[in-house]
Structure 1
Amino acid sequence: MSERWARAMLSVYRFAGAAAYPLVGGYVGWRANQGKEERSRRRERYGIASRPRPSGPLVWVHAASVGETIAVIPLIERILGFGINVVLTTGTVTSARVADERLGERIIHQYVPLDLKPAVSRFLDHWEPDLAIIAESEIWPMTILELGARRVPQVLVNGRLSDRSFASWQKRAFLAEALFENLAHVVAQSEVDGERFRALGARPVTVSGNLKVDTDPPPADERSLADLKYQIGSRQTWAAVSTHDGEEAVAAEVHQMLRPRHKDLLTIIVPRHPNRAEALVAEFAAAGLKVARRSLDEPITPDTDILLGDTIGEMGLYLRLTEIAFVGRSLTSEGGQNPLEPAMLDTAVLAGRNVQNFRETYQRLIDGGGAKLVRDRDMLAGAVNFLLKNEQAREDMIAAGAATVDDMRGALAATLKALEPYIHPLIVKSRLKEGNGGYP
């Protein structure tokens, strides 16, 4: 009965999506007005391709946003090296920009179609992928069902399920099983994630580790980096990065608490959502703090208290300006943000205790001595103060973090091994195409 109910619910979802399809134009238009869609490429969201399909085997890779896109870039590069075409879909403007910067014309980028049958069907009719690779936790029912109906192998890589997502799926276990049975393979980030996918009906499931560990650290523009370092000079710095609402205020209070002991202190605050910059500047000004906004190229002067990193795609720049980084969404919000980039870029990592979404990564860093969790503002201030005053302790944490990251590498090789049964036939197809001068 439950299985029949699950399939009935998915049928309702399919028909409701088809009925809603003519009405979604307003939603996409609103997103475009908010800068969340490229107006000139809105048709891609309806599954209308803006590029022709190349001849030969083709793999569709989907990564939702910037973090997932960066994680799958090394995997995409390996697939391209086999002579296989890749169409990469993402859901955000910033992830499209990252794809263009890192992969350029080597891949075809499209915005992911809306999870509605007409859009997904149009997308699949045009691209005819031989394999679909989905990154992390992008579970779109209609897309999964349509791929399943066409017998296109679907592999979820770098898979993870947060506590909240797993609890939500558990309440709909038969629905989850009806969807996950369409996945040919799940390659999970951790043993915990793997067990969760198995519990929801996914088979087979293997564990690879986190693909993000096998990526290069985020880059920085050398000229901008040199200019900011010159402006900062010999001042002591610490950073609060990927912060969410309330954590910027905590960082500002920590700055005020530490300034009597570290008179030249500069605090770098990088909010997760830079569109909150105006409100943050007003908040900091009301507290008597002088702010330099990166987006306005405002100079850092000797009396600047806070460098506000209100830009997108410059995390590598900000992290190279300090050796101490608090990683947000962990004090006033829940789930945490990924600490790997700070650890890769030679910073001692601090975070609040609410890091459930990256539990294993934090545990590895903490066990290795590269990260420390703090309870509240006062404990954060104490940790930053200790690290500012104790160079050896700071260097030990930095070295421990780097060593832990090195120990965690290997996810790319494990993922490629799991993908081998699906990739190998495409390599043969590609070679046959080259030999025959065309694709049959």
Structure 2
Amino acid sequence: MLLLYILGIRVYHVIILIFSLFNSKAKLFIRGRKNLFNEIKQQVDAGEKHVWFHFASLGEFEQGRPVLEKLKVLFPAKKIVVTFFSPSGYEIRKNYALADVFYLPIDTAHNARRFLDLINPEMAIFTKYEFWHFYFKELKNRNIPLYVISGIFRPNQVFFKWYGGFYRQILKAVSYFFVQNEESKRLLNSIGLFNAMVSGDTRFDRVYENAKSPKKLTKVEAFIGNSPTLICGSTWPEDENLLSALPEKYPDWKFIIAPHEIHESHIESIEKQFPIGSVRFSVLNSNNQTPNAEYQTLIVDNIGMLSSLYQYGKLAYIGGGFGAGIHNTLEAAAFGLPVIFGPKYDKFQEAKDLIILSVAKSISAGDELLTAFESFAANEIARIAAKKYVGDKKGATDKIISTIIQPNQP
């Protein structure tokens, strides 16, 4: 199985190399790893101990960020190294002030040894998932504590299959699991791993703090005026196709669309689906005058505004539910927004919870979107319940920190 794993890593790398010839993300993936070890050597003092945080992408960074920042507050002298697997995380957070930020070198035995030699970690913290054989093995060989935070496991994962022995061995390198729910803990127990605590999801801490002091967006405020507003976050073409019917049916509402992908062809596609009364944020922002009242739909053509946009909404639509899975519903719920999303939400416990609480609805077609929209449009009870749900679930960060710092007190 190890040989198959090594082969799989190499094949994946070759595929990315091929895709990099015409795909911008793949190009960033390859380019970002060129001369990577020299870059790390120049920026990181191997003579000092570091705390290593690894995130798959931007979503996992925001999820694990409360732990990183709380650790830095408690121990400001600690040096932190952050790695990302995906360009969508690295490119957005490469200038993050609290850490040295790099791409994660591809998982090979040589890379794992060389990387750990360079960053000299006193502990490693992985958020939610990504379980790399050689990195985990090397951490264990060096007796470096390895923590998985906000972990979540499902019965259909390879770890819990009869043929998953190799992957179960990877999990055995983890010093402690901080998981989101009881099911995850039971699954780990079922394969002989009892080093687990149900600490909850650190995303609740992140979105709760964000909702307390969001960034003020004056141009957005001027665009909205006194109109009720639907915030459409991280949308994909399938989502936008359904949403395009709403502005005409609800002329008194404003609509803000913050798509997951902001390349020019996608923005142009959205403009074609919302041809009347739509404007790009970049155009609005470059105009010193007050936005014209005729604008009904604002298309956000940048990255980084979404978490602050929700403060201006009355209702939210979360994209991704017609693809791999929905994006972050908690950012909206933290502001007291009921949420609507597509059918693929089964991997997200918070989405299931919100549906049970009647503050979220899953839809599969346009008529269902209209029904959900109308049911939430003036539902103040749902707004209160959404905000309370987030407030009740916060606290995972403190549980994690209090456990991992005990053997590392100064």
TM-score normalised according to structure 1 size: 0.79
User: Which residues of structure 1 form unaligned runs of 5+?
Assistant: 1-8, 432-440
Q: 1:151 aligns with which of 126, 133, 143?
A: 143
Q: 1:118 aligns with which of 84, 104, 110?
A: 110
1 CA distance for matches of 2:135 and 2:71? 22
Q: 2:171 aligns with which of 180, 195, 220?
A: 180
* Contact 2:244/2:273 (8 A) holds in 1: no
Query: Based on CA coordinates, which of the two structures has the bigger radius of gyration?
Result: 1
Deviation at 1:29, TM superposition (A): 6.2
Aligned to 2:126: 134
1 CA distance for matches of 2:16 and 2:222? 49
Is 1:293–2:280 an aligned residue pair? yes
Residues 5-404 of structure 1: pairs in structure 2 closer than 5 A: 9-11=1-3, 13-14=5-6, 26=17, 34=25, 36-37=28-29, 39=31, 42-44=34-36, 48-53=40-45, 55-80=47-72, 81-82=74-75, 83-96=77-90, 99=93, 104=97, 106-161=98-153, 166=157, 170=161, 172-215=163-206, 216-217=209-210, 221-222=215-216, 225-256=217-248, 258=249, 262-275=250-263, 277-282=264-269, 284-285=271-272, 288-297=275-284, 300-330=291-321, 332-359=322-349, 361-388=350-377, 390=378, 393=379, 395-404=380-389
1 CA distance for matches of 2:127 and 2:13? 29
Deviation at 1:98, TM superposition (A): 5.6
1 CA distance for matches of 2:39 and 2:252? 54
Which region of structure 1 is more displaced relative to structure 2, 125-134 or 80-89? Answer: 80-89
Cα RMSD of the aligned pairs, angstroms, is: 3.3
Query: In the alignment, residue 321 of structure 1 is paired with which amino acid?
Result: Y
Distance 1:325 1:15, change over 3 A: closer
1:298-340, CA deviations, whole angstroms, 9 ceiling, x for partnerless residues?
Answer: 775333342122321111232123110011222x235322211
2 CA distance for matches of 1:23 and 1:94? 20
1:378-406, CA deviations, whole angstroms, 9 ceiling, x for partnerless residues?
Answer: 12212223433x3xx2x222211111111
Percent of pairs with identical residues: 21
1 CA distance for matches of 2:341 and 2:191? 31
Distance 1:302 1:353, change over 3 A: same
2 CA distance for matches of 1:283 and 1:58? 45
1:243-268, CA deviations, whole angstroms, 9 ceiling, x for partnerless residues?
Answer: 23311111112333x2xxx3233222
Aligned to 1:425: 407
TM-score normalised according to structure 2 size: 0.84
Distance 1:231 1:25, change over 3 A: closer
Distance 1:89 1:405, change over 3 A: same
Distance 1:93 1:367, change over 3 A: same
1 CA distance for matches of 2:162 and 2:257? 39
1:192-240, CA deviations, whole angstroms, 9 ceiling, x for partnerless residues?
Answer: 2223333455441221110011112277543xx1122113323332122
User: Which residues of structure 2 form unaligned runs of 5+?
Assistant: none
Distance 1:90 1:32, change over 3 A: farther
Deviation at 1:158, TM superposition (A): 0.8
1 CA distance for matches of 2:134 and 2:39? 13
Deviation at 1:27, TM superposition (A): 6.1
Distance 1:88 1:376, change over 3 A: same
